[in-house]
Structure 1
Amino acid sequence: MEEKRATKSSIAIFPLYNYPLFTEKNCIENNIILALEKSKIAIKDRDIFVIAQKIVSKSEGRIVDGKSVDVSSVALEIAIRNGFDPIQVQLAIRESTKILRTDRVLITVTKNGMVCNFSGVDKSNILEGYYVLLPENPDYSAQRIREFLEKETGKKIAVIISDTQGRPWRRGGMNIAIGSSGVDAFRYNKGRQDLYGRELKRSTICQIDEIAAAAEHMMGQGSEGYPVIIVRGVQYDSEHCESASDVPRDEKEDLFR
């Protein structure tokens, strides 16, 4: 039987140069527009902006001075037992609705329903003694940024807010989507044909995680300093109105809780 391959265009991934690094509360939307102008980048319809969670958190004032945090006895016990930072543990507990694991890791359920280490509380790429929390509502943050950029550029775009998280059954972290707008969380392949013409009965791909992971190659984790990445050429779905908050499994579907 002859194979049937769909024709696809190429994908381009490039950083937004000239984005200013900052540590105080600021307007991320205006900074992106200014960086686009300085970089002379012309935005096209269906471009995807993948934005590092940390600059979104900073722009929304989600920064905590460690000196202002009172560490509870529960947080101190977890920290001492595992060699963790007591302040980071306390903030992780504060940002969570449920603690799932406290041995070697601190796995929590965040207020947005994500299951992750330390509730996403981080102290890298920030001034010494300060901690960065996840955005309160990453989907809303993505929507706000998308609507502003669409108004300013006149183009129909999508926005993904990404963060690097670990995986329980594989080594190494991976960039995933924690907020999204303008692009569906999933791509449904049910009903499409495979290479040999057979109909796919079930196939659901988390396309926003795929896009976030691809963008991380340009974004980097250290001193690269490219917190905004533009992904162009992805044939993504956008008609189902699903966002990153729809990705975490319900507890009844989660085989590991």
Structure 2
Amino acid sequence: MTLVIPIKVQRKHASFDLYEDLIESTKDHTIQTGDIIVISSKYVANSEGRLLDLSKTKPSYDAIQLSKKYQLDTKFAEIILRESDETFGGVTGFVLTSSDKILAPNAGIDKSNVKKGTAILYPDLPYKIAENLRKKIFLNLGIHVGIILVDSRLMPARAGTTGVAIAVSGFEPVQDTRGQKDLDGNPLRVTMKAVADNLATMANHKMGEGAESTPIILIKDSGAKITTRKIMTDEMAIASDLCVYMRGFGN
């Protein structure tokens, strides 16, 4: 039976050592080989000092045009452009973007749970962070674990948020079930299970979105396949022209 354990931490107001904080926060729990450690991407970004004072941001011409189109603060629009790989459109208050190969409103930038006038970004090089954490845990504790950096996301035409894995290490993030048989013996042709995103959603449910102060989740007996190979940044992503939602909106 899968066990999902929320880990409370002390709120931080400045950059800090993520590994040391993780070990200190989980000292009352036994971490074992096969466990999955899920960490809020915003908590990771906070450890890196990835917070911006919007008052010190100078908007470009493109940011001003974007702000007019979607009724955004010009300085916030500038940060969105800087953090985006690509923009696809938007609605009032939100720009639909790709950031770190993840489709996200406003490039994943958040203004909640930070001081007024401040924005927190996605972590810098999230896959490198996840891989380094996994390696440190193995070198110091001698155990193989999986790491997920998680953010919340909106699903098309659905109310509320679920979780999305913005980076993983230590386990296979996608399970390819093509060629297997369904209950009636029919071969599965396109089915791939989003293992990392499913675990991210389980963790996101326990983390909450407000003042819970549980940015770390320990998942036991998940059934995820542990691996020591380096997970590549494009393994969970597909190009926008292959996405059924993005292609559908374009027709």
Give the aligned partner of residue 16 of structure 1.
7
Cα deviation for residue 122 of structure 1 reads 1.0
C-alpha contact (below 8 Å) 2:84/2:97 kept by paired residues: yes
Give the aligned partner of residue 201 of structure 2.
213
SS in 2 for 1:33: helix
Give the aligned partner of residue 18 of structure 2.
28
* Counterpart residue type for residue 31 of structure 1: D
* Counterpart residue type for residue 7 of structure 2: L
Cα deviation for residue 150 of structure 1 reads 2.3
RMSD: 2.1
TM-score of the superposition, structure 2-length normalised?
0.88
Unaligned runs of 5+ in 2: none
C-alpha contact (below 8 Å) 2:34/2:226 kept by paired residues: no
SS in 1 for 2:122: coil
Unaligned runs of 5+ in 1: 1-9
* Counterpart residue type for residue 144 of structure 1: N
CA gap of 1:238–1:253, structure 2 versus 1, over 3 A, is: farther
> Quick one: distance in 2 between partners of 1:202 and 1:108?
26
Cα deviation for residue 66 of structure 1 reads 1.2
SS in 2 for 1:106: strand
Cα deviation for residue 119 of structure 1 reads 0.8
* Counterpart residue type for residue 6 of structure 2: P
Cα deviation for residue 199 of structure 1 reads 4.8
C-alpha contact (below 8 Å) 1:185/1:243 kept by paired residues: no
Deviations 1:128-149 (A, max 9, x none): 2111111121111111111122
Aligned length, in residue pairs: 244
Q: Which of 102, 106, 117 is 2:95 aligned to?
A: 106
Query: Which residues in structure 2 correspond to 1:1-257 (within 5 Å)?
Result: 10-17=1-8, 19-37=9-27, 40-104=28-92, 105-110=94-99, 112-196=100-184, 199-239=187-227, 242-243=231-232, 245-255=234-244, 256=246
> Quick one: distance in 1 between partners of 2:41 and 2:180?
34
> Quick one: distance in 2 between partners of 1:160 and 1:244?
13
CA gap of 1:251–1:199, structure 2 versus 1, over 3 A, is: closer
Cα deviation for residue 250 of structure 1 reads 1.4
Cα deviation for residue 196 of structure 1 reads 5.0
C-alpha contact (below 8 Å) 1:53/1:161 kept by paired residues: yes
> Quick one: distance in 2 between partners of 1:69 and 1:202?
45
TM-score of the superposition, structure 1-length normalised?
0.86
C-alpha contact (below 8 Å) 1:109/1:119 kept by paired residues: yes
C-alpha contact (below 8 Å) 1:162/1:176 kept by paired residues: yes
Cα deviation for residue 14 of structure 1 reads 0.6
